[in-house]
């Protein structure tokens, strides 16, 4: 079964407080996005890799690839106004039977997480890496708060994986601000969503603190 991964790198990362988008920030020896691409290539060097980038940063990325001698084959598509539009653009170029959609700023996704997502999607048609919550939860009301059973909730990661035809049908639905990820769009088709096991290191780099954690984890992996 042919595999495609769409790596969404369209954000500008305001919460990171950087002059450049967070996917281009240096993580140890190379930019974050290069780490992310490397993880999928190392898992399967036949992966079709498609990167969605803001149009104004496409040449910037190409210059980074030259600077760091980054030669893993990948194609680039222009990002859209929202994540929804970026993935819709990238889907036009996808040739895989299974399509993985992954955040560019999750460079620590493990090969085991990718494998489990592939196995789950191959069997059931969809997969979302997820982990059970560790912290207690409370639901905030106007003047009160109530305990929520954390066993009923999971924290969601990427890559989210779907059969290509299913994902294409989902992206024929109109855009809505209520769509927070691919799974929420797939659910609108009436499709079931299946969970696979994620990995704790697979954090999304959003703040400077996240970068410090990632620096430490990458450093441990390089030891």
Q: How far apart are CA 60 and CA 70, in angstroms?
A: 13
**Residue 17 predicted with pLDDT over 70:** no
What was the pLDDT predicted at 175? 85
- Distance from C-alpha of 45 to C-alpha of 189, rounded to nearest angstrom: 32
DSSP H or E segment with residue 92: none
Model confidence, pTM:
0.92
| For residues 53-73, average pLDDT | 96
User: What is the mean predicted confidence (pLDDT) over 155-169?
Assistant: 96
Q: Within 10 Å of residue 22's Cβ, how many Cβ atoms? A: 27
Provide the pLDDT for residue 179. 80
Percent of the chain having pLDDT more than 90? 72
Residue 113, phi then psi, degrees to nearest 5: -65, -40
Return the CATH number of the domain spanning residue range 3-127+156-222. 3.90.550.10
Q: What is the pLDDT of residues 112-156, one digit of tens each?
A: 999 999 999 999 999 999 999 888 888 887 678 888 888 888 999
Cβ atoms of 128 and 101 within 8 Å: the answer is no
Residue 202 pLDDT > 80 = yes
Inter-residue contact 79 to 86 (CB < 8 Å): yes
Residue 13: predicted pLDDT: 56
């Amino acid at each position: 079964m042919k595999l495609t991964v769409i790596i969404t790198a369209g954000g500008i990362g305001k919460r990171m407080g950087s002059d450049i988008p967070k996917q281009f920030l240096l993580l140890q020896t190379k930019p974050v996005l290069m780490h992310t691409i490397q993880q999928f290539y190392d898992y399967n060097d036949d992966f079709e890799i498609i990167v969605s980038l803001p149009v104004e940063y496409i040449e910037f990325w190409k210059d980074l690839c030259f600077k760091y001698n980054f030669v893993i084959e990948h194609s680039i598509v222009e990002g859209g106004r929202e994540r929804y539009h970026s993935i819709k653009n990238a889907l036009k170029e996808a040739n895989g039977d299974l399509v993985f959609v992954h955040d560019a700023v999750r460079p620590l996704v493990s090969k085991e997480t990718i494998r489990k997502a592939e196995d789950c999607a191959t069997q059931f048609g969809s997969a979302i890496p997820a982990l059970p919550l560790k912290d207690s939860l409370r639901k905030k009301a106007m003047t009160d708060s109530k305990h929520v059973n954390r066993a009923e909730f999971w924290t969601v990661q990427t890559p989210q994986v779907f059969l290509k035809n299913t994902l294409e049908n989902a992206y024929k639905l109109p855009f809505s601000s209520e769509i927070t990820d691919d799974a929420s769009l797939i659910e609108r088709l009436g499709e079931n969503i299946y969970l696979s096991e994620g990995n704790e290191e697979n954090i999304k780099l959003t703040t400077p603190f996240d970068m410090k954690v990632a620096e430490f984890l990458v450093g441990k992996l390089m030891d």
